[in-house]
Structure formats: structure tokens, C-alpha cells
Chain A
């Protein structure tokens, strides 16, 4: 299993109208060696930024991120060959009109011969049980099928690490389960952010991110409980928060 090392990482962005940059991640130092790592936290807590660091989509403002020794800033191409990235919305990830063509697009650089490329794409789609959907327009696929197609296109180039940014957010229960089973069968090192606490419980190690910091790092069950407690803190009592009533005048 590979090693992903984050050493004293800060990420800041300039915000229009504000003199000081906004801090998205602050003082993150991690050594990720487990096969399945989950990242949970509230919206806007910094989960996606943390994941984007791993593929070099975001560069740290301070500190370094390395994947198997390759720096994500200085060796970004090498890092991207090792680290596949699956986004929340597969429609923005699938570039080609059909799944088969998108998998072939992934293979264009590594398999030059069109016939071999087509055969390789067929084999990959077959492996994921997607062959019957290969030539359908991506718009005709269900959310789960699209997400699996996006996953197949990323895995076509055989990355050693797979980063998934909330992959189940747009899926119904059945498709979420399908995705969960597919991910469980992968040999790659997985780093996945999710709001799905059931999915998080499948992980070997879970990070809880809050306000740009890792506030808990440990086993899945303990992390989920920590996150639940964190989320419940400060909530108004049940029934206290309600929409204002409008008084109708006769």
C-alpha cells in the first residue's frame, strides 16, 4: 500500500472584498497508509480541499503533499497518473457522449492503437458490468450508472490511489449500495469524503474535518460518533426552529 504524506499543510484563498485570505485548511499533517480512508465533516469544512490536495488540483499555500514520494506541486503529472479522482457529479466528469468513448479517451495516451484501445475499453466495462450500457448516451444512464461509468473511466488507467469526493451524494439507495459494493471490491488505496455515515463505517480509518482542521483521526465507529456529537452540538431543541407564520388577512 502506498503512502500519502501531508506535512504542515495550509491552504488559503484570496476572497474578493476581504483584505485577508480565507483559510480553507490549517496545519494538516497526516501520513495516510491504510487502504480505505474516509473523510467526514460538515459542508464547507474543508473535505473537498483536502481531497483535491492529493491529486494536485489544489496546491498548498504552505507545507508539502507527497504521494509515494512524488510532490504534488513539482511532479503533478506523475501524481495524477498515480491518483485517480472521482467527482460528486459524474456529468461534469464524463467528457464523451457515451461511456465506452469516455473510457477510450482515458486510454488514448497509453494505448495508441485504436483497435487495442477499443478492446481494452470493452474489457474494463465488462469488468464493472457496464458493457450493456457502453454505447448509450450518458444522459440516458441513471445516476448510479453514470457514477460507475465515471469510476470505470478513472480506473482504466490503473491508478494506485483512488480519491472519491462525495461519490454517493446524488445517488438513490440502490445505486449507493451498488457503488459501495464496487468500491469494496477495488484493490486501490481509497480516500473518500462522504456524508453517508454507513459508507464511512466501511473505512479502515476516518478523519473528521471541521473548520479546516482534522479534529478527529481514528477508527470508523469512533469517528462517526465524534462527528455525530459535533453536528448535534449547538442545535436548537426539536420544534424550536420553525418557519415564521404568515398572518392572512381576510
Chain B
């Protein structure tokens, strides 16, 4: 299975000013860009914001190649959306929508390119701590985010592999030959990842909870059966 760098950039070690910006400020930047995409109505403002984001990305030292790789996968989708919006609502609206999406992608890439995953997880855990009183497990919350980020390139890789197989068999125009294997591969991957997490004891309560009765992360089927988790 081949993997793909997809949308978000992996951490690039460095000591730039962008790397040193506190994590909460980077979170705020991503959330702010997401919210602003609903509020900004002028494509010129959106273009300015995108230019600023690109400058910040490049200032981190991650390089233009990584920046291009981050946005490349969504360019065909954005082109289709842009053309449709141009046809329906005109050029300025189409440009605003496309530029706002790019601003969000680049802002998220700044966060992931300049923050080690472990720090990102620590940040997510800190954010989730107030929800502990409602029964939430911050570590499990952070692990979920990590698995989500990790799964996107895997699924993109699965699609690429399946597309190559379909081409080799002359089935590239058959949607079932593309969708079904990706779906099956993804479900199998999810099961394997679940097994791997359970085997490593990840996502389970910490040692301080060991007095509790063990339960939950095992194949416990109906009596007489070894059921699957």
C-alpha cells in the first residue's frame, strides 16, 4: 500500500519564528481562518489573506515544494467548484470561495508543519480536559484526532492503488471497480488499526484506573463464540 502526503504537511523540524509561536495561537489561526471564510465577502481580501498565509508558511522554512504538495490534491476539486460558481454566481464569488478554501488548507498546513504531532496531541488533550467532567477522555480524544490525520493518506493511497489495478484490467471507467475495493480496504484497515491499538493498550484508561474490572477491548462474543470487537 502506498501512502500519500494529502492536504496536511508533516512536521518539518525547525526553529523559525512560526515554529516558536505558541500552540494556542496556531490553533486560533486555524479556527479564525475557518470562521473568516464565512465572513469575508471580497475576493481581494481573501487573496490578501492567502498571500499572508503563504508567506507565513514559507517563513517556517518548510519550502514552496511542500506548500504546493499541500494544496495540489484539492486543486482539481477547487477548479470544478470555481468553474461552477463562476457560471452560477460570477467571477468574484467563485474567486472568493476558492481562495477561502485555500486559506484554510494553508493555515492548517502551517499548524501541522511547525508543530510536532506529540505537541499537537498534548494541545488537544489540554483543550479536552474541561470535558472530563462530562465523561470525556482527553487522551482518547487526542488519539482519535491522530488516527484521523494518519488515515487520510492511507485511504488516498488505497484509492491510488485500486485505480492502478483497475487501469491494468481495463476497468478504469467502472465506478464499482474503484469504489468497492477502496471501501473494503478501508474497513479492513480500520479493523487492523483497532486491533493494533487494542494490542498496544492505546486508548484504554491509564494505570490509575487498573482497579476497575477489565472489559471492553476484547473479542467477547456470545457464549460459545469468539466474537469480534
Q: List residues of A whose CB falls within 8 A of some B CB.
A: 11-14, 21, 24, 49, 52, 55-62, 73-78, 80-81, 84-85, 87, 89, 91-93, 95-98, 101, 104-106, 108-109, 114, 117-118, 135, 137-139, 153-154, 157
Residue of B117, B198, B201, B220 touching A97 (CB-CB under 8 A): B117
Overall SS of chain A's interface: mixed
In contact, A95 and B146 (Cβ under 8 angstroms): yes
B-side contacts of A104, CB under 8 Å = 118
Interface stretch, picked from B24-32, B55-63, B82-90, B189-197, is: B189-197
The reply on B202 being an interface residue by CB < 8 A is yes
Scan residues 143-168 of chain B and give those whose CB is less than 8 A from a CB of chain A: 143, 146-147, 149-150, 153-154, 157
Q: Is the CB of A57 within 8 A of B199?
A: yes
Given A12-B224, A13-B225, A91-B1, answer yes or no on A55-B199 (Cβ-Cβ < 8 Å).
Answer: yes
Q: Which residues of A contact B109 (CB under 8 A)?
A: none
Alpha-carbon gap, A96 to B4, bound state (A): 14
- The contact size tier of chain B is 35 or more
For B224, list chain A residues within 8 Å (CB): 12, 21, 61-62
Q: A91-B1, A91-B3, A95-B147 are in contact. Are A117 and B118 (CB under 8 A)?
A: yes
How far is it, in angstroms, between the C-alpha of A49 and the C-alpha of B3 when the chains are bound?
29
Whether B153 pairs with A139 at a CB distance below 8 angstroms is: yes
Instruction: Verify B10–A87 contact, CB threshold 8 A.
Output: no
Residues of B within 8 A of A80 (CB): 198-201, 204
Q: How far is the CA of A56 from the CA of B153 in the complex (A)?
A: 30
Q: A13-B226, A81-B201, A139-B153 are in contact. Are A98 and B189 (CB under 8 A)?
A: no
Residues of B within 8 A of A98 (CB): 10-11, 117
